[in-house]
Amino acid sequence: MKKAKKILKRIGLGLGTGLLLIGGFCAYVALTPPRSYDPPVTPDIHVDITEARIQRGEAIAHLQCLTCHADNHNRLTGKRLDDIPAMFGKVYSRNITQDKEKGIGNWTDGQLIYFLRTGLRPDGTTVFMPQYGLMADEDIKSVIAWLRSDRFPVQPSQTEAPPSEYSFVAKMLSWTIMKPGTYPEQPIPLPDSTNTVAMGRYLSTAVADCYGCHSADYLDLDGKNPERTKGYFGGGSKFADESGKPILSANITFDETTGIGKKYTKEQFIRTIKTGVRPDGSVLHYPMMPRPSMTDAEVAAIYEYLKTVPRLNNNIAQKQTDSELAEK
Ligand code: HEC
Ligand code: HEC
């Protein structure tokens, strides 16, 4: 009897200490900024600025950086990202113009490349931003060349968005699933430009980030092996549309009943992606933006690649109705 009591007391003590520790950790997470790391050793790279690189960088920026960093005047001064769910707090992107004080004018090419690959700033702090771990070295260099160019959006500006206010949930994520990427040890070459499927895979995963939104959950991606991501291209990831209503990404595998197998010819697919309007005239909702900066050949390559992706039966229309009902 006595022994049992003793054991129970011990368990009680153990539980109490455990709860205290967990409680203490939660308080710590709540009261401090998101997790940070040791300042990284950044590579010593100098990017040569050529007109070809600037143009390529600009095209990539239209698919990526401008969407999140451009203000109403099309300058990269940063802004509130409204479509990030409120449970993560208030997230603002930053000024990434060439301004030396408010922008990134003082970052080295190596620091920028390291940041884009891993999400780690030179001081070891992290950001809630996509990581470009799969982008070819040449394309990353093109982005840097564009950031250093004389183009309007990147010209120095002192305007600044307020700092992000991350919620407890967001901070907890920084301690759990949202880890910085690892800096690639090997060079990452561009895919063979004569291999349409390889090009489509590259564009839809590494550059235009279609897979990031069109898989089951944009918070749970396999950044190293996109194909291993849950629900790869089967859609269902939840966003907010222009009016703040929940919207699920579409199933764009070639499944014939719930995907796009019978919905789009290649020509229709190209037109839809570039204009944001479906063949039946309906307009695609935010955050599915038109992509006029992509070439027909690039969108066609994505179409050819999607044909090769395992088909998933996932009825998004049904799930969309369910999630709207749940909101009410
Ligand atoms: C999905 C939105 C999104 C996209 C796309 C995006 N960013 Fe960001 N970026 C952010 C957010 C949000 C932050 C800052 C978050 C914070 O302060 O915690 C940020 C921060 C940064 C920073 C750090 C700036 C600083 O002063 O600390 C740099 C540099 C940057 N982004 C460059 C880029 C470039 C270059 C691209 C395009 C290749 C890009 N970003 C694409 C959302 C985005
Ligand atoms: C920021 C997230 C996001 C990104 C990035 C994104 N999409 Fe979408 N996409 C969506 C959402 C959400 C919808 C649903 C829009 C709607 O229902 O109006 C959608 C719809 C579509 C549709 C319409 C499907 C149908 O059933 O009619 C196609 C096709 C599509 N996306 C292809 C792409 C391709 C190709 C890319 C990459 C170039 C891409 N998307 C990038 C979020 C995204």
CATH 1.10.760 is right for the domain spanning 51-175: yes
Pocket of ligand 2 (CB under 6 A): 204, 208-210, 213-214, 239, 247, 249-250, 252, 260, 263, 272-273, 278, 284-285, 287-288, 291, 302
Q: What is the pLDDT of residue 21?
A: 75
pLDDT above 70 (res 328)? no
CA–CA dist 215, 238 (Å, integer): 10
Residue 235 Cα, ligand 2 centroid: separation in angstroms? Answer: 9
SS3 59: helix
**Angle (CA) 61 63 68, round 5°:** 75
Which residue puts its alpha carbon closest to atom 5 of ligand 1?
64
- Longest Cα–Cα distance of the chain, Å, equals 84
Residue 113 Cα, ligand 2 centroid: separation in angstroms? Answer: 28
Which residue puts its alpha carbon closest to atom 37 of ligand 2?
210
Q: What is the pLDDT of residue 151?
A: 97
Q: What is the pLDDT of residue 1?
A: 55
164 CB less than 6 Å from ligand 1? yes
Report residue 138 as tokens.
């040449």
96 CB less than 6 Å from ligand 1? yes
70 CB less than 6 Å from ligand 1? no
pLDDT tens digit sequence for 183-206: 999 999 999 999 999 999 999 999
In the chain, the amino acid numbered 12 is: G
93 CB less than 6 Å from ligand 1? yes
Residue 65 Cα, ligand 1 centroid: separation in angstroms? Answer: 7
CA–CA dist 278, 70 (Å, integer): 26
Residue among 132, 140, 154 nearest 78 (CA): 154
pLDDT tens digit sequence for 55-107: 999 999 999 999 999 999 999 999 999 878 888 999 999 999 999 999 999 99
Q: Which of 95-99, 239-243, 322-326 has the lowest mean pLDDT?
A: 322-326
pLDDT tens digit sequence for 264-290: 999 999 999 999 999 999 999 999 999
pLDDT above 60 (res 313)? yes
171 CB less than 6 Å from ligand 1? no
Instruction: Please compute, for residue 258, the number of CA atoms within 13 A of its CA located in the half-sphere on the CB side.
Output: 17
pLDDT tens digit sequence for 10-55: 777 777 777 777 778 788 888 888 889 999 999 999 999 999 999 9
Residue 29 Cα, ligand 1 centroid: separation in angstroms? Answer: 23
Q: What is the pLDDT of residue 2?
A: 64
Q: Which residue has the tokens 């690639």?
A: 184
Ranges for all domains in the chain classified under CATH 1.10.760: 51-175
Burial of 276 (C-beta count, 10 Å sphere; 0-12/13-18/19+): middle
Integer angstrom CA distances of residue 22 from 19, 27, 82, 188: 5, 9, 32, 41
Q: What is the pLDDT of residue 325?
A: 75
Q: How confident is the model at residue 240 (pLDDT cuts 50, 70, 90)?
A: confident
SS3 160: coil
Which residue puts its alpha carbon closest to atom 10 of ligand 1?
93
Atom of ligand 2 nearest to the CA of 320: 17
What ligand has the least distance to the C-alpha of 125?
1
What ligand has the least distance to the C-alpha of 88?
1
Residue 123 Cα, ligand 1 centroid: separation in angstroms? Answer: 15
